[in-house]
Amino acid sequence: MARGLDVGTMNIISSRPEGDGTTFVQQRNSFVEIEYSDMAEQMLSRSEVLHIRKDDKVYVVGDDALNFANIFNKETRRPMEQGILSSEEASAIPMIKLITEQVAGTPERQGEKIFFSSPADPIDSDLSTLYHQKTLESMLADTGFDPEPINEGMAVIYSELADNNFSGLGVSFGAGMTNICLAYYAVPVMKFSIARGGDWIDHQAAQATGTPVDKVTSIKEDDFTLDFTTDVGGVEGALSIYYENLLDYVIEMISQEVDQEDVEEGLDVPVVVTGGTSSPEGFEELFAQHLEDVDIPFSISDVQSVDDPLYSVARGALVAARSEEESSGGGAATEQQSED
Ligand SMILES: Nc1ncnc2c1ncn2[C@@H]1O[C@H](COP(=O)(O)OP(=O)(O)OP(=O)(O)O)[C@@H](O)[C@H]1O
Ligand SMILES: [Mg+2]
């Protein structure tokens, strides 16, 4: 059985086929450090809280980290930043390993295919994604999987544009990054990332209004809509301003890159916007409006949003894994025939 895995700055999500559908398992890519005591560890184990002990510290990992951080009045820590393993976080690798194992489980057979998402190199920073990708690859191989990276933007195309011959522009608005891929008949024509996403919006809005970042994130995720009717001066007002600024920035970068890539002018394709940051109501409309303000040398048939933006990348990774599994199965059958 093939698997997909979306390793994101905020969420790690696995996907596997079940019946006619797909099952997703998700954990927040964060952790919090608490003091070790025998009692604490016993309680954590009994209540099935995902945790790991190291010397005199216990780390509560994944979704529960946020609850524990609130109770103990601590900040959560994140193994990834701007789309890749954080160089600032010494515990990044063991934490991400624990979350990944919990989410993806172990393979049913040695060498089972798993496609995991990996961002494209950003065009607006010096960050390189190679170390991140190779580290994840060896981590998954250690668990017994046969891992293969898939570009995050390409995963969006696989997941959302099957009805359009896997042709179009896929944009994944994540936490640490925005990943963009233009594909034509499942062949990537252009792919790149931008080192800004939901985290950037949160930090800017937090700084502008003097509000703790975690608080801004909850307000944004709870009931924020991009309708620009919210009062000026509040957190929601600041969120709208930085949302619009991020959209303009991303659209400007797309326009620049398309120009440089010499994309064929006769192209007429849809754009799909997805990822957690595309969740608020009004996002798709705002994106479509702002896209009209720039010069793009090919024509865009429409801008589409998706029903469950958090799962697009994991779903697309699974589509790729299954297609690879089928084609290698097909290869074996052909070999069998030729032997006869
Ligand atoms: N309902 C919501 N409204 C607004 N923002 C949301 C909502 N739900 C999640 N988000 C934001 O979406 C982002 C997480 O999205 P996603 O899981 O697609 O990112 P990721 O894959 O973890 O990150 P990346 O791809 O950048 O590494 C976070 O910034 C989060 O705050
Ligand atoms: Mg992502």
Taking only the tens place, the pLDDT of each residue in 119-157 is 999 999 999 999 999 999 999 999 999 999 999 999 999
Query: What's the rounded Cα separation, in Å, for the pair 184 and 204?
Result: 36
Nearest ligand to the CA atom of 84: 1
Nearest ligand to the CA atom of 246: 1
Work out the pLDDT band at 231, boundaries 50, 70, 90.
low
Instruction: Specify the residue for token string 């409006």.
Output: 289
Question: In the structure encoding, which two tokens stand for residue 99, read together?
Answer: 């979350």
DSSP-based three-state secondary structure for 9? coil
Give yes or no for residue 189 having a pLDDT over 50.
yes
pLDDT at residue 335 in the model: 39
pLDDT at residue 332 in the model: 40
Cα(209) to centroid of ligand 2, in Å? 27
pLDDT at residue 289 in the model: 95
Give yes or no for residue 337 having a pLDDT over 70.
no
pLDDT at residue 24 in the model: 98
pLDDT at residue 339 in the model: 41
Q: Residue 23: count other Cβ atoms within 10 Å of its Cβ.
A: 11
Of all residues in the chain, what percent carry a pLDDT higher than 90?
77
153 C-beta closer than 6 A to ligand 1: no
Cα(178) to centroid of ligand 2, in Å? 8
275 C-beta closer than 6 A to ligand 1: yes
Ligand 1 atom closest to residue 9's alpha carbon, by position in its atom list: 27
Query: What's the rounded Cα separation, in Å, for the pair 145 and 109?
Result: 8
The vertex-276 CA angle with 303 and 8, nearest 5°, equals: 120
Strand ranges for the chain from DSSP E: 3-7, 11-18, 21-28, 31-35, 51-54, 57-61, 80-81, 84-85, 112-118, 145-151, 168-173, 178-184, 187-194, 268-274, 299-305
Ligand 1 atom closest to residue 280's alpha carbon, by position in its atom list: 3
DSSP-based three-state secondary structure for 211? coil
Mean residue pLDDT of the chain comes to 92
Q: What is the mean pLDDT of residues 198-219?
A: 95
Cα(7) to centroid of ligand 2, in Å? 7
Cα(8) to centroid of ligand 1, in Å? 9
201 C-beta closer than 6 A to ligand 1: no
Query: What's the rounded Cα separation, in Å, for the pair 269 and 253?
Result: 18
Q: Residue 307: count other Cβ atoms within 10 Å of its Cβ.
A: 7
Query: What's the rounded Cα separation, in Å, for the pair 50 and 28?
Result: 11
Work out the pLDDT band at 201, boundaries 50, 70, 90.
very high
Q: Domains plus CATH for the chain?
A: 30-77 (no CATH), 162-311 (3.30.420.40)
Nearest ligand to the CA atom of 281: 1
DSSP-based three-state secondary structure for 108? coil
Three-class SS of 280-300: CCCHHHHHHHHHCCCCCCCEE
pLDDT at residue 230 in the model: 66
Question: In the structure encoding, which two tokens stand for residue 264, read together?
Answer: 């064929």
Give yes or no for residue 184 having a pLDDT over 50.
yes
pLDDT at residue 330 in the model: 43
pLDDT tens-digit profile of 264-299? 778 899 999 999 999 999 999 999 999 999 988 888
In sequence order, the 6+-apart residues with CB closer than 8 A to the CB of 15 are 3, 4, 5, 6, 22, 23, 24, 311, 314, 315, 317, 318
DSSP 163: G
pLDDT tens-digit profile of 292-335? 999 888 889 999 999 999 999 999 999 999 999 888 874 343 33
Q: What are phi and psi of 272, to 5 degrees?
A: -115, 125
Nearest ligand to the CA atom of 199: 1
Ligand 1 atom closest to residue 224's alpha carbon, by position in its atom list: 3
Cα(41) to centroid of ligand 2, in Å? 32
Instruction: Specify the residue for token string 């909850």.
Output: 218
Give yes or no for residue 340 having a pLDDT over 60.
no
Residue 147: closest CA among 155, 135, 158: 135
Give yes or no for residue 236 having a pLDDT over 60.
yes
User: Which residue's CA is minimally distant from atom 20 of ligand 1?
Assistant: 8
User: Ligand 1 test: best mutation among 5, 7, 9, most atoms within 8 Å of CB?
Assistant: 9
Cα(160) to centroid of ligand 1, in Å? 18
148 close to 164: Cβ distance less than 8 angstroms: no
Q: Which amino acid is at 48?
A: E
User: Which residue's CA is minimally distant from atom 15 of ligand 1?
Assistant: 276
pLDDT at residue 333 in the model: 39
148 close to 163: Cβ distance less than 8 angstroms: no
